Chains A and B, each alone.
Chain A
Amino acid sequence: MLHRRIYQFFIIYLLGLLVLFSVKYLLDLSDYVIPGLEDLAQTFRTVFLRYVSDVVDTISVAVIGQVISVFMAIVVGVLGRQTTWFGSFIKVAAYNVQAYPIVAIAPIIFILFGDGFLSRLLIAAMICYFPILLSVISIMSEPVHDIEHFYRVTGRMRWQLEVKIRAFENLNKLTTVISGSATLAMAGTIVAEFIAANAGIGYSIRIALYQSDLAKILTALFLIGITLSVYQGLLEIAGYLVKKGWASH
C-alpha cells in the first residue's frame, strides 16, 4: 500500500518534470523560465535539508489540524446525522464556510491569534474540517436497512449502536475521506504559511516565488508530495488495520 503510493507519486512527479523539460527544450527557454536539470539538481542539493525540516514542520501542524478536524467532524457529524433542524443547520454552515476563500478570512485569524502556530493550525483545520464533516454527515445519515431493521424491530437499537453499524459498514469510505483530508490539511497549512507564517514549507515557497526561483519550488513540491504520499499510505494502512480489528470481533 505504502510503496504503491510512493512509486505512483514518483511517476506523477517525473511525468510533470518531463512535460516541463519538453517545453523548455522545445521552446529553447532559459533556466529563468524553467530550470535545467543541472540547476534543479544543484538547488536540490543546496536546499534539501532545510526544506525537509520545513516540510516536517508543516506536516506536524497538518497532522494535528487533521486530528482535531476528524475528531470534531465525527462528534458534530454524529450529532447532526438526523434530519433535524440542527442537522440541516450544520450542513448549511459547512457549505457556507467552505465557500469562503481562506485568504479573506486569514487576516481576521491573524488579528485574533497572531501569526504563529495557532493560526496555521486553525487554517489547516478549517480547510480540512468541513469536507470531512459533510462526508461524515452523509455517511452517518444513511441507514443500513438490512442490519438496522433487526435491531429496530427487536427494540434494541440505541444511537451508539446505530453509529457503530454505519461506521463499520462505511469504513472504506471513512478511511478514504480521512486519507483524502490529509491533502486538505497539508494544503491548508501551506496556504496559512504562504500568507503569513514565519515557518514551514509554505513560507519557503513564498520566498522562492519572490526570487522567481522555480527550481526551489520544484524541490519543495517534490518534498511535499513524497511526505504526503507516505502519510496517506500510513493512514490507509491504519484504516486497514482498524477494519481488520473490528471484523475479528
Chain B
Amino acid sequence: MNRHIKKISVFLFLFSICFSLSGIRVSEASETAVYRLKWLFNASVIGDIYADVHGHFKARGLDVTVKEGGPERDAIRELELGYAAFGVASADQVIRALAKGSPVVVIAQLFQINPLQWIYRSENLDVTRVEDLKGKVVGITFGGNDETIMRTLMAKAGLTEKDISVFSVRYDYTPFYQKRVDVWPVYRNSQAPILEKKLGDLGESVAYFNPAAHGVKFVANSVVTSKRMMEEQADVVKNFTSALLQGWEEALELENEEDVLKTLRQFDKDTPPDIMRKQLVITRSLIKPFKDTRIGMIDLEAWQQTEKIMLEQNQIPSPVAVEKVIRKPF
C-alpha cells in the first residue's frame, strides 16, 4: 500500500514538473503568445484590447491571447514560468525582479505619467506644495507604490511622519467618503472618475495631487518580456511591439473614440458609459501627454529615478542598472 502511495506521489510530482516545462515550450516555440496585463479590462488597457480586437497581432502573424491581470497576478513570474510571453509590469516590479536575478526585459513604457495620484476635496484643501500636507490625514497603502512615492515626496520636502497622520488605505473608499482622510491615493484614469462623480453628486468638488508635478517621476506600467524571448525570438518581439503600439496609437486617436468605446464595452460591462468616456480621456493624457509623444517611448531618466528611490528606501539591496534591460521600441 505504502509503495503504491509513494509511486503515485512521485508520478504526480514528475507529471506536474513536465506539465510546467511543456507550458514554456508551447508558449515560446510557436508564434502563439500569451500577453498578461497588469490589471482588469478597463480603459487603462484599451490599447492592448484594441490591438487584439482589430487584428493588429494577427496581421503580423501572431496569435496573441490577451489575459486580464489582477492583484494576484504577476506578469514577470509568468514570463519566467513560461505561462506568458509578454506582460505588463510596473517599474518597481521590474526593478525588484532584477534585484532578484529575474531575466526580464522592458520593451515599451505605456504610461508617460504615473496614474497614481492623490484625490482630495478642493473646498477645504489646496495642495500646491508637498508642505501643504502638513497636519493632514494622508492615505497610504503600506507596501504599495504610493507609500514609496509619498515617502520620497516627504523626504524631498523635509517632512517626517510626525508632520502628517498616515492612514492605512484598504480597498474601499469609506474613510475618504466619511472625511476621515484628507487625501486618498487613486488611479487617476480608473478609480478617480468614479469617485469624482459620486462626490460631485453630493455637491463636492475634488482636485488631485500629482507627484510628478513635484519632481517625483515613478514609472508605472511598461511592457516586458523575457531575455530568452528577446534573444531567441527577436522577430516575434519586434512584431508584437509594433502591433501593440499601433493598437495604442489608434485607440487614443480622437476620431476613433466612439469605436474605441464600443470595443471597450465588450470587455468592461460594469462601467457606466459617461465614466468610461472620462477614463479614456484621462488615459489618453497619461499615455500621450503631448501631441508629439511617441507611445511606448522610454523615459530613461524616470526609470533611473525610480531605481534611485527604491534604493534609498531599501527596497532593493543594491543598484540593478535598470538601463541595461531597457530596449527602446523605436
- Do A and B pair up? The answer is yes
Interchain CB contact under 8 A, B143 and A210 = yes
Interface membership of A196, Cβ < 8 A? yes
With A32-B97, A212-B93 known as contacts, the answer to whether A107 contacts B80 (CB < 8 A) is no
Interface residues on B, range: 20 to 34
Majority secondary structure, A binding face: helix
CA distance A187 to B105 in the complex (A): 38
With A110-B170, A212-B74 known as contacts, the answer to whether A30 contacts B101 (CB < 8 A) is yes
* B residues less than 8 Å from A33 (CB atoms): 77, 80-81, 102
Interface membership of B122, Cβ < 8 A? no
Interface residues on A, range: 20 to 34
CA distance A210 to B76 in the complex (A): 14
From 194 to 249 in chain A, residues with beta carbon under 8 angstroms from any chain B beta carbon are: 195-196, 198, 203, 206-213
CA distance A26 to B97 in the complex (A): 19
Interchain CB contact under 8 A, B13 and A195 = no
Q: Which of B20, B96, B101 contacts A23 (CB 8 A)?
A: B20
* A residues less than 8 Å from B103 (CB atoms): 30
Interface membership of A11, Cβ < 8 A? no
Interface membership of B328, Cβ < 8 A? no
* B residues less than 8 Å from A26 (CB atoms): 17
Interchain CB contact under 8 A, A210 and B80 = no
Interchain CB contact under 8 A, A31 and B101 = yes
CA distance A27 to B71 in the complex (A): 25
CA distance A143 to B150 in the complex (A): 64
Interface membership of A162, Cβ < 8 A? no
Interface membership of B144, Cβ < 8 A? yes
Chain A, residue nearest B317 (CB): A42
Interchain CB contact under 8 A, B141 and A210 = yes
Question: Count of A-B contacts with CB under 8 A?
Answer: 73
* A residues less than 8 Å from B81 (CB atoms): 27, 29, 33
Interface membership of B292, Cβ < 8 A? no
Closest CB-CB distance, B156 to chain A, in whole Å? Answer: 22
CA distance A213 to B96 in the complex (A): 9
Closest CB-CB distance, A13 to chain B, in whole Å? Answer: 17
With A23-B17, A107-B174 known as contacts, the answer to whether A207 contacts B143 (CB < 8 A) is yes
Interchain CB contact under 8 A, A207 and B96 = no
Q: Which of A22, A30, A196 contacts B170 (CB 8 A)?
A: A196
Interface membership of A57, Cβ < 8 A? no
* B residues less than 8 Å from A49 (CB atoms): none
CA distance A26 to B24 in the complex (A): 13
CA distance A207 to B102 in the complex (A): 21
* B residues less than 8 Å from A208 (CB atoms): 143
Chain A, residue nearest B173 (CB): A107
* A residues less than 8 Å from B24 (CB atoms): 27
Among B103, B143, B174, max chain A CB count under 10 A is at B143
Residues of B within 8 A of A (CB): 13, 17, 20-21, 24, 71, 74, 76-77, 80-81, 93, 96-97, 99-103, 141-144, 168, 170-172, 174, 315
22 sampled A-B residue pairs with Cβ under 8 A: A23-B17, A26-B17, A27-B20, A29-B80, A30-B97, A30-B102, A31-B100, A31-B102, A32-B99, A32-B100, A32-B101, A33-B80, A39-B100, A195-B170, A203-B142, A206-B142, A208-B143, A210-B142, A210-B144, A211-B96, A211-B315, A212-B77
Query: Other CB < 8 Å A-B pairs besides A32-B80, A110-B170, A213-B96, 18 of them?
Result: A19-B13, A27-B24, A29-B81, A30-B103, A31-B100, A31-B101, A32-B77, A32-B99, A33-B80, A39-B100, A107-B172, A207-B142, A207-B143, A210-B143, A211-B96, A211-B143, A212-B77, A212-B93
